[in-house]
Structure formats: C-alpha cells, structure tokens
Amino acid sequence: MDNQQHTSQQFLEDAIRIARKAGAVLKHRLKTDFSVEFKGEVDLVTEMDRAAQDIIQEEILARYPDHGILAEEDLDDRGADGHIWVVDPLDGTTNYAHGLPVFSVSIAVVHHGDTLCGVVHNPMSEETFTAIKGEGAALNGHPIVVSKVDNLDKSLLGTGFPYDIRATAENNLEYCARLALAAQGIRHCGSAALDLCFVACGRFDGFWELGLKPWDVAAGILAVREAGGTVTDFESSPITLDGSRVIASNGLIHDEISGILNATGSGQGQD
C-alpha cells in the first residue's frame, strides 16, 4: 500500500510539472497566429492542441517509456505495463481559437481502469487542481471540498454541448432548458475538465454533459470524488471512463439533477 501511494504521488508530481510546461506554451501563444482546422462542422483542432500534446507525450515517455498514452489528438498507445496517461492537451479548443482565456490541460494516470491521480491546470489563472485516489483533492496544494448547497433551486450548475450539436438529436438543449428553470443559474465554460474541478472546489454545485470522452473527464471525475462529491451516469449508475453522459455534484442535489434529466426522456432535440 505504501509503495502504491508513493507511486501515485510521484505520478502526480510529474503530471503537474508536465501540465504546467504545456500550459506555459499555450498561454504564451494565445492570441498569436496559429493554424486552425476543422475536424467536423464546428469541431476545431489547432496547431497548439498538437504542440501541447507533443510536449506532454515527449515528457511522459522520457520518464515512463513503458506507459501508454490515450490523448485527444489521435494518440492511443496502451503501453506495456498497464499504466495509461489519459491526456487532453487543450480542453477548451474553441475558446482558445477565439482568444477566450478559458481552457485547461488535463492529465490523469490510470492503472488497469483505476484512476490513480489527476491534474487539471488552468494556465491563465495559474490554478492547478489535483487529486490522488484515497488522499483527497487540492487546488494549488490546498485541500478542496464540494459545496454544501442542498437545494437545486439555489444551485449554480455547469454544462456543455456536443461538438456535433447541429447533427445529433441528443444535443442537450432540452436538458438545459429543463434545468435552467430548476436551478439558480447555469454556466457553459467550454472546458469540461474545469467544470468538474469547479464542482470539486464548490464553485459549481453540479454539472452534467453528454458526448464526453475519457480525456475530458478522467482527472476531473477523480477530483470531484476525492473532494467528497458524487459522479454517476444519467441513470445514477457508477461512471466509468468510457461513460459519455456524466452527472457530477456535491451529492446533496444529485438526485434532483438526475430526476430532471430522466424525466426529460432522451433529451433529444427536434430532427
């Protein structure tokens, strides 16, 4: 047990260093000229997504050559020893491409499906959210806990919308309309990793989103859980990294959010 904890701590320290290194480059290049491409009708990828991912990949493999890396920009290497680094090099690409300074670098270390530790770094605010399984969550080294708001009517929620919102019927619009009438407010920041960490530190009381990928949520889910919150799928079942429909909350309003999402039915918009 002591060896595992030491290993997780070392992984975390390296993940923090790597996330901050990539984040510094992203911060420096914000509002400069860089190439932007479209992966879909509205889904962007920038030169800086790939540059940050290259930095992270190089740093991980230099330190842990037998480890795998699963990252957003077409990188899926499962490695040799069961450890996989799940990476979003730039969560909030659309914000970044428009010069909006709300984005993050997210890195988690997973061992045979079990998330050991995670980091979500906001380069613009210099806020680094961290978590180690069984040891709690922190913001810049200071412990964090979820909020104590116990009524959805008084809650501030976060959400996001799928990149294929124009093409998919499951677009979150109906869910958002229902919850907008039930909560005190809803915010769409554009970075699911940050949204989850905002739940972990009590800025948001809850969060939900559809169409998420492992790199969007791996570090943030651990942060919420270690801060005392609850994370499930829309049916209130335990969430896994393969789960694309996520509810995260302080636990006190979780059933209310889940009830409204399920009462909404499929949450589909009009075809």
What is the reported pLDDT for 245?
92
pLDDT score for 243: 79
Query: Could you tell me the domains of the chain?
Result: 2-143 (3.30.540.10), 152-263 (3.40.190.80)
Q: Are strands 68-71 and 142-144 parallel, antiparallel or unpaired?
A: unpaired
Nearest one of 59, 190, 210 to 124, comparing CA atoms: 190
Neighbours of 42 (CB within 10 A): 14
| Nearest residue to 246 (alpha-carbon basis) of 268, 214, 269 | 214
Q: In what order do the strands lie in the sheet with 230-232?
A: 185-187, 156-159, 206-209, 246-249, 230-232
Rounded CA gap, 260 and 69, in Å?
Answer: 36
Task: Please report which helix (H) or strand (E) contains residue 49, including its range.
Answer: helix 47-63
Please count the CA atoms within 13 angstroms of the CA of 46 that sit on its side-chain side: 21
71-to-13, 52, 108, 200, 267 alpha-carbon distances in Å: 19, 11, 10, 23, 28
pLDDT per residue rounded down to tens, the chain (271 residues): 344 544 999 999 999 999 999 999 999 989 776 776 665 554 556 788 899 999 999 999 999 999 999 998 778 888 788 999 999 999 999 899 899 999 999 999 999 989 999 999 999 999 999 999 999 999 999 999 999 999 999 999 999 987 666 766 678 999 999 999 999 999 999 999 999 999 999 999 999 999 899 999 999 999 999 999 999 999 899 888 877 899 999 999 999 999 999 986 544 443 3
Strands (E), 100-193: 104-111, 114-122, 127-132, 136-139, 142-144, 156-159, 185-187
Rg of the chain's alpha carbons, rounded to an integer? 18
Q: Which of 24, 18, 95 is nearest to 58 (CA)?
A: 18
